[in-house]
Amino acid sequence: MGVTWELMIKSVKLALGATLKGDCPQEEVLLTLLIEIEHSVNSRPLTHMSLDSSGAEALTPNHFLIGTSSGQINFPRLSQAKNCTRSDYELSQMYADTFWKRWLREYMPTLALRKKWHKPQPNLQVDDVVLIWSDNSARNTWEKGVITRVLPGKDGHVRVAEVRKSGGNLLLRPCNKLIKFA
């Protein structure tokens, strides 16, 4: 059971190391970055997500820690912070954005484990609810969608799927960028 959280710690350490690349930020910048990272990691969905905006949201670790998934972090206003400057805040936000992109590249493949097809694997199907992996997603945003059409390859395995996002937009995504919720 501990393997899951050990892998999460590993992915965070790798992404944090790649984000800082040997930089030594000031204490306030590092603290702000670590709080942002904590929020990002704890905003990941643990359960099936409803596509309706009115529907129940997915359960996240933040629900257990702070009672909500939105987890608006209330930083002190820049005028109230003693040693914090606007450039320090902007630097911490730049680090947080860099971490988010790197961490997604580390974490998302662990959700969509693809094994060699020695045995038949279930294909994605119409009406499957999926998490949409996008390199351009905003920080702490987990896009979800429902598969409306599947496009199998010559070998019969589904390679591309048409997905309807929560806003109603349709897009074609390769299956390796879709993570099915069980």
Q: What is the mean pLDDT of the chain?
A: 78
**pLDDT bracket for residue 131 (50, 70, 90):** confident
Distance CA 119, CA 6 (A): 29
pLDDT at position 55: 56
Q: How many CA atoms lie within 13 A of 46 on its CB side?
A: 12
Using CA atoms, how far apart are residues 153 and 13, in angstroms rounded to an integer? 37
Distance CA 119, CA 82 (A): 61
Report all structural domains of the chain as residue ranges with CATH numbers, in order of start. 2-111 (no CATH), 129-180 (2.30.30)
Residue 7 has pLDDT above 90, yes or no: no
Is residue 132 within 8 Å of residue 142, measured between CB atoms?
Answer: no
pTM check: above 0.95: no
pLDDT of residue 78: 46
16-37 pLDDT, tens digit per residue, is: 888 898 888 888 888 888 888 8
Percent of the chain with pLDDT over 70: 77
Nearest to 144 by CA among 41, 51, 46, 68: 51
pLDDT at 103: 84
Spatial distance between the Cα atoms of 98 and 93, rounded to a whole number of angstroms:
9
pLDDT at 115: 59
Rounded CA-CA distance 139/146 in Å is 22
Residue 104, pLDDT above cutoff 50: yes
- Confidence (pLDDT) at 177: 86
